[in-house]
Amino acid sequence: MECIVCGRKFYRGQGVRIEAAGIELVFHSKVCALRFVRSLLEHLEPDVLKKGVNETLTEFREARRKLEESRAKTI
C-alpha cells in the first residue's frame, strides 16, 4: 500500500485506513492522516463544516455523558 500524503509504501494491516464517501483513504501514520484531515477541513464550505462539527460534538458529548453516568458509584 502507498500513503496518499507522503508516498511511503507499507504493508496491508499497518497504517491508518479511512473509508469516506465510498473512497478508501490509506495513510502510513496518524500524522499523515491528520495532515490530510486538516487540509480537507480547510477546503469545506463553512456552512457544511459548521453543521458537521456541531453534529460530531453532540455525538461525542452524549457518549461521554453516558460513560460518566455508567462509571458513577451507586449507593
Report the first-to-last Cα separation within the chain, whole angstroms.
53
Residue 75 banded pLDDT, cuts 50, 70, 90: low
- Residue of 3, 32, 56, 55 lying closest to 12 (CA atoms): 3
Cell (9 digits) for 63: 457518549
The whole-model pTM stands at 0.76
Place of cell 453532540: 58
Under DSSP, the state recorded for 14 is B
What is the reported pLDDT for 39? Answer: 96
For residue range 3-25, list pLDDT tens digits in order.
999 999 999 889 999 999 999 99
Cell (9 digits) for 40: 480537507
